[in-house]
């Protein structure tokens, strides 16, 4: 959302700019996420020691995974970051077996590399080991 406001313009000469749609989508996701956290299941969990319900905790972990993947995207590269994101998502959030998460993350990373780097010949960040 920050980049859609600062780098991309929201309005250009009275017309919507290129950053308006990402900004509005980010606002929508933020509002819906806060609505789920606040009103979702918080009222039903009054007797628990941890104030957040498990679904809200999983939502916060998912947001933390996305933020962490955004922070290491340039350093690790696109395929590795996506592979780690899928692996951690499946093992931590979905509670799948570790080898299923690693296999799915590896296949996803290889597919990302093949489609974007080989087929489309796009310039994706490949991480520190390619420099």
Closest C-alpha to 84, from 62, 61, 108: 108
Q: Are residues 28 and 52 in the same domain?
A: no
Which pTM does this prediction carry? 0.62
Q: What is the pLDDT of residues 26-51, one digit of tens each?
A: 888 888 888 877 776 555 555 555 55
Q: Are residues 11 and 71 in the same domain?
A: no
Please count the residues of the chain.
131
15 is in which domain, residue-wise? 1-39
Q: Are residues 74 and 31 in the same domain?
A: no
Q: Which two tokens stand for residue 47?
A: 């007797």
**Ordered alpha helix ranges (H), 7-129:** 20-39, 54-71, 73-76, 78-88, 98-112
Domains held by the chain: number: 2
pLDDT at 5 over 60: no
Q: Are residues 58 and 100 in the same domain?
A: yes
């Amino acid at each position: 959302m920050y980049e859609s406001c600062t780098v991309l313009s929201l309005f250009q000469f009275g017309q919507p700019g290129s950053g308006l749609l990402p900004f509005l989508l980010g606002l929508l996701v933020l509002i819906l996420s806060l609505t789920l956290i606040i009103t979702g299941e918080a009222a039903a969990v009054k007797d628990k020691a941890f104030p957040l319900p498990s679904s809200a905790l999983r939502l916060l972990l998912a947001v933390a995974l996305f933020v962490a993947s955004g922070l290491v995207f340039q350093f690790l590269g696109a395929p590795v970051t996506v592979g780690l994101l899928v692996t951690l998502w499946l093992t931590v959030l979905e509670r799948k077996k570790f080898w299923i998460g690693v296999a799915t993350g590896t296949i996803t990373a290889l597919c990302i590399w093949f489609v974007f780097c080989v087929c489309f010949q796009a310039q994706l960040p490949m991480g520190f080991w390619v420099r």
